[in-house]
Amino acid sequence: MDLLVLWIVVFLALSFDFINGFHDTANAIATAVSTRALKPRVAIIMAATMNFLGAVTFTGVAATIGKGVANPAALSNGVAIVIAALISAIAWNLITWWFGIPSSSSHALIGSLAGAVIGGAGISNINSEGLIKIVKALLLSPVLAFAAGFIIMWILKQIFAKSSPHQVNKGFRFAQILTAAFQSFSHGTNDAQKAMGIIVFALVASDIQTTMDVPMWVKISAATSMALGTSVGGWKIIKTMGTKIFKIEPINGFAADAGSAIVILTATMLHLPVSTTHVITSSILGVGSAKRFSAVKWGVAGRIGIAWVITIPITVLMAMFTYWIVQFFF
């Protein structure tokens, strides 16, 4: 029975990764698709490949997720907690995907895991130091991404101020392919590891392993699941990110992709989980502001911001309620 329950956890974690693939990877290719630098099908195949490569390259974020919110070895009902957290995070991802809202899978997972731990073991079992570290990274990264997008776009404006807009965009349409690939790679280095961390959390809670090391089968399965999810695509979110914030041209897409990819990869190197959705959206907002502040549709940005703010508290409550149901079965 214990082995069956563990396989349920693995299935749910990989399902989360799959949904994360089509939910969040849309962010990574939205600008390239909207500027016609890449055809949608080609963009998705490229993103899936680069996501897979990024996912199998790093594991530091997985360890942070696995022990940052709570110590799985100290929880007698750790597997049930993980199941409740994953059900809550998956439900929120599907709700926001259905309405085309680029909400954060990272916020959903962190909020759900914290809520499930509180519901199943009490708030005293929350690793406050680790959780604060994660939340700081989640809050600071969008600010850095906004600044990165703004600065890169400002520099490009100075360099190409006297150049023909048509020629500039023609050249940056090719360059944008490279930055979209870079961004998809960086997305894989950070987002796929969150499911890896959850699986390892369950393995430690089940006494199957004692360390936070990520087994190779977990790496490969999480990377594959995210790549498959990416191949499905998330057209509703692509439309929001690529067209509704401001009219993106290839030079803007290049700046936004470069700024967000740098922030995400830096966070990965520091073993910090960040919201790729927040980072990419903030970078686009920074680029739009550098182009022309009035060009940004701040009403759309505001609605996206509301989704960001409410995700963690809502998923905390959802997970607490979900655990109350799950405990009767596991």
Q: For residue range 113-134, what is the model confidence (pLDDT) as tens digits?
A: 999 999 999 999 999 888 899 8
What is the pLDDT, as a whole number, of residue 265? 94
Alpha-carbon span 323 to 320, nearest angstrom: 5
Segment among 20-24, 230-234, 282-286, 309-313 with least mean pLDDT: 230-234
Provide the pLDDT for residue 43. 80
Q: Which residue has the higher pLDDT, 301 or 14?
A: 14
pTM: 0.84
pLDDT digits over 178-216, tens only?
988 998 899 888 888 888 989 998 888 888 888 888 899
Buried b (16+ CB within 10 A) or exposed e, 28-51: bbbbbbbbebbeeeebbebbbbbb
3-state secondary structure of 217: helix
Rg (CA), the chain: 19
Q: Tell me how many degrees the CA angle 238-24-133 measures, rounded to the nearest 5.
A: 140
Cross-strand pairs, 126 = 70
